[in-house]
Structure 1
Amino acid sequence: MVIRDAKLDISVSIPCAREGSRESVDLSCLLCADDIVSLADDDSILQRNLDKLLPALARFGMEVSLPKTICMTLSEGLGDSNLRVKIDGSDIGEVDKFVYLGSLLPISGKIVDGTYDGRTL
């Protein structure tokens, strides 16, 4: 309900990683319980989505934890991405990989099979 209420921009086409496949899927976010991954083609779209999401969460009595919120550019070879995304005027930290639902998401954007325990994969 929160995501529908926020009316996020759908802006990212993710290619499938299967051999011989040229399929893609359009995604704006990934959701599981209280975790949200918001996807966007650039930081201005991501900022706009966050600006819509925060009041929608507040209407349902929820809020975003700034210390738990991070940004990552999913594209190798772009160099320093210089993301400019903020929550309530505070910069969101940028990382080059993170774990979502047990899967390591590296900067290449290729989801690594298996589970990640924080030490090895």
Structure 2
Amino acid sequence: MRPVSRALIALVVAAMSLVAVPAAANLARYQAVIWLPTTGDVLNSAQQTAFESYVANGGGYVGVHAAADTEYDWPWYGELVGAYFASHPATQRATVTIEDRASVSTQYRYSRWDLAVYGTSQ
């Protein structure tokens, strides 16, 4: 993997309410929109139209976990996300092991830890 220069990439993270975001002027400022953690019906029809236009014009979309539990009544979004959330498994225990401690993304983490991923059985 080739290292990426900080001069080439600028990461801007903006935390905002979804209700305020999807106006065309607001969305145009971003290269990608991350849906994290969304659930249910989060956009009105005008916001949906703005978001559809944003993606159609090259805007990026990243949907994380519950993004697939969002906008069930919006067929366009269903195509974008690729699938809808069906159910969540019961709590699962896991051990996370960091194999590359030299990476800037993992060097401050413990090398190994146990965790429980909580959910509800359906």
TM-score range, shorter chain: under 0.3
Query: Which of 1 and 2 has greater Rg?
Result: 2
**Larger RCO, structures 1/2 (Cα 8 Å, 6+ apart):** 2
More strand by share: 1
User: TM-score when scaled to structure 2?
Assistant: 0.27
